C-alpha cells in the first residue's frame, strides 16, 4: 500500500528515537513499501550512510536503561514499553543502583548512553551485557550501539505491522 512521503514520515517518524530525520530520508524510497523488513533495511541504510556526528546524535537520543527519564515518566511510549518488557520498571534497589553506576561509567568512557534492544531480555542479562560491553573500545561500542538501534527499529516496525 503506497502512501505519500508525508504519511510515511507521520507513521514512521518515531521508529528511530527522537530522530525523525531517518524517516524523512527514507520516505522517497520506502513510502511505496509495506514490508517491515524492507523498510527497516532502507531506514538502516540512511543511518549507516549518515555522518558520524548525526549517528552520534542518534545514539545520544536514547535514554539510559532504568534511568532518570524512566522514573520521571519521560520516556517515549515505545521506550517505556521496551524497558517494561525487560522488567526494568521492577528493579530491586540494588539493581537500580547498579544500573545507575553502569550508566555513569558507560557515559564517562564512551560519551553516549548504553543502547541495547532489551525486549525479550531480563535484568540480569542486560546487566551482564553492560559489564561486558564496558570493556570494549569506543569504536566497537559506537558500532554496537548503532547495530542495537537497528534491532530496536526492526522490532518497532514489526510491532506496527502486527497492529
pLDDT tens profile 20-42: 999 999 999 999 998 999 999 99
**What does the alpha-carbon distance between residue 8 and residue 19 come to, in Å, rounded to a whole number?**
14
Rg (CA), the chain: 16
Question: In this model, does residue 74 exceed pLDDT 70?
Answer: no
CATH class for the region spanning 62-162:
mainly alpha
**What does the alpha-carbon distance between residue 51 and residue 42 come to, in Å, rounded to a whole number?**
16
pTM of this structure: 0.92
SS3 85: helix
Name the segment(s) of the chain with CATH classification 1.10.3330.10: 62-162
Catalytic residue among 18, 62, 107, 150: 62
Q: Which residue has the higher pLDDT, 15 or 81?
A: 15
Q: 40 with 153: CB under 8 angstroms? A: yes
Q: How many helices (H) and strands (E) does the chain have?
A: 9, 0
The yes-or-no answer on residue 132 being catalytic is no
Amino acid at each position: 500500500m503506497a502512501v505519500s512521503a508525508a504519511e510515511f514520515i507521520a507513521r514512521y517518524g518515531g521508529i528511530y528515537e527522537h530522530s525523525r530525520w531517518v524517516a524523512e530520508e527514507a520516505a522517497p524510497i520506502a513510502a511505496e513499501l509495506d514490508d517491515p523488513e524492507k523498510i527497516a533495511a532502507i531506514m538502516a541504510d540512511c543511518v549507516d550512510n549518515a555522518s558520524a556526528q548525526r549517528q552520534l546524535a542518534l545514539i545520544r537520543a536514547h535514554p539510559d536503561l532504568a534511568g532518570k527519564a524512566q522514573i520521571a515518566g519521560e520516556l517515549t511510549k515505545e521506550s517505556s514499553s521496551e524497558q517494561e518488557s525487560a522488567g526494568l520498571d521492577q528493579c530491586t534497589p540494588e539493581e537500580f543502583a547498579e544500573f545507575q553506576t553502569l550508566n555513569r561509567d558507560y557515559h564517562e568512557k564512551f560519551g553516549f548512553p548504553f543502547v541495547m534492544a532489551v525486549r525479550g531480555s531480563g535484568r540480569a542479562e542486560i546487566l551482564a551485557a553492560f559489564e561486558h560491553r564496558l570493556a570494549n573500545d569506543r569504536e566497537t561500542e559506537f558500532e554496537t550501539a548503532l547495530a542495537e538501534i537497528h534491532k530496536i527499529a526492526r522490532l518497532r516496525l514489526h510491532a506496527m505491522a502486527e497492529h
